[in-house]
Amino acid sequence: MAIFRQYIAPFLIVLVFLVALLSVSARIFLPSDMAGPAPIEDVESVSSRTPDTTPPLETLDAPILPTSAGSLN
């Protein structure tokens, strides 16, 4: 267990840090139009373009079970 605590765990932490640093630093080499954040579309325009063909979900009346904390009302 001491080998894991002294050698393996610190190595994994440094490895995760370096991978995160590399992925964040890679934005420098992207074209300028790809380096920015993704555009956000308006929710109203997206929902008006796509028709809702899914049937509505049915709700189930689940029984209220007693708890150890007592009554919820």
Which pLDDT tens digit goes with each residue over 18-38? 999 998 888 788 777 676 777
Mean of per-residue pLDDT scores for the chain: 79
Residue 70, sorted as left (phi over 0), alpha (psi -120 to 50) or beta, turns out to be left
Q: Measured between alpha carbons, how far is 44 from 70 in angstroms, rounded to an integer?
A: 44
First-to-final CA distance of the chain:
50
The per-residue pLDDT for 73 is: 54
CB 42 within 8 A of CB 49: no
Report the predicted TM-score, pTM, of the whole model to 2 decimal places.
0.42
The token pair that represents 30 in the structure block: 């992207």
